[in-house]
Amino acid sequence: QSALTQPASVSGSPGQSVTISCTGTSSDIGYYDFVSWYQQLPGKVPKLLTYDVTKRPSGVSSRFSGSKSGNTASLTISGLQAEDEGHYYCFSYTGTSAPWIFGGGTKLTVL
Amino acid sequence: EVQLLESGGGLVQPGGSLRLSCVTSDFAFRSHAMHWVRQAPGRGLEWVSFISESGSTTSYAASVKGRFTISRDNFKNSVFLQMSPLRAEDTAVYYCVRDLILGALDHWGQGALVTVAP
């Protein structure tokens, strides 16, 4: 199964909001609500931002929010800050014999 | 503080074998499923393998199925990844990851570098 589809890059200015999309199929994102998002800052280990589409772990800023419509999940980052610059990955359950899959990743640039 | 510490990485020739270990601490290990996730140099994240809390259920990415084996020891709070035969495309940093619930990967190790080259 191919990776979930994310835009290669997005950008925004400090204080603005950006949304990163993650497109799957009716067999993964469209069927299950087990979608999570991860932030990987340069040289760092990935960090969980949201899970079960909309839930946020304790300690994660409310500036990060997840949503889903049909076969597409989205991560919205509001009030962009310079320290948000890095890569973002979606992750979904697929229900197949290889049941988990990442998106290809999106590089966020804060202008 | 939850900790995951991988070991066993290194340089190996194509066709060779490696066994990664991940020792965990400061959480109820037997209550959490675990994953291995890898990242090739300059590339994105790739899910590799999953093991359920008891170890009775395992799954693998198509790219490693039949070559890698995941296992766990709930008495030693450890998870393992046996890899053989290795290919050049298996070169990556391998992360041991805790599953909070149904694919919420909430704690990651620092990673173990595996390099497959002649």
What would the DSSP string read from start to end of B33-88? -EEEEEE-TT--EEEEEEE-SSSS-EEE-TTTTTTEEEEEETTTTEEEEEE-S--G
Q: Which of A40, A54, A91, A93 to mutate to test the interface with B (most CBs of B within 10 A)?
A: A91
Tell which residue, B90, B44, B89, has the closest CA to residue A104.
Answer: B44
CB contacts of B62 in chain A (<8 Å) are 1, 98
The Cα–Cα gap between B47 and B38 comes to 6
pLDDT at A88: 98
pLDDT at A3: 85
B78: pLDDT strictly greater than 80: yes
pLDDT at A2: 78
State the burial class of residue B15 (Cβ atoms within 10 Å of its Cβ: 0-12, 13-18, 19+).
exposed
For chain A, give the mean pLDDT.
96
> In Å, how far is A48's CA from the nearest CA of chain B?
5
B59: pLDDT strictly greater than 90: yes
Q: From the CB of residue A40, how many other CB atoms can be counted at a distance below 10 Å? A: 19
Residue A57 Ramachandran class (φ > 0 left, ψ -120 to 50 alpha, else beta): beta
pLDDT, tens only, A64-89: 999 999 999 999 999 999 999 999 99
The Cα–Cα gap between B26 and B51 comes to 19
Tell which residue, A108, A32, A41, has the closest CA to residue A68.
Answer: A32
Q: Using pLDDT thresholds of 50, 70 and 90, give the confidence band for residue A97.
A: confident
Strands, DSSP E only, in A1-111?
9-12, 18-23, 35-40, 47-50, 64-69, 72-77, 86-93, 100-102, 106-110
A63: pLDDT strictly greater than 90: yes
- Using a pLDDT cut of 90, give the percent of chain B over it: 98
Q: Is A35 helix (H, G, I), strand (E, B) or coil?
A: strand
A1: pLDDT strictly greater than 70: no
Average pLDDT of B33-38?
98
pLDDT at B93: 98
Residue B50 touches chain A, beta carbons under 8 Å: yes
Inter-chain touch B47–A100, beta carbons under 8 Å: yes
A110: pLDDT strictly greater than 80: yes
Q: Are B116 and B86 in contact (CB under 8 A)?
A: yes
B44 vs A34, A93, A102: nearest CB: A102
pLDDT, tens only, A15-37: 999 999 999 999 999 999 999 99
Average pLDDT of A43-54?
97
Inter-chain touch B95–A91, beta carbons under 8 Å: no
- Using a pLDDT cut of 70, give the percent of chain B over it: 100
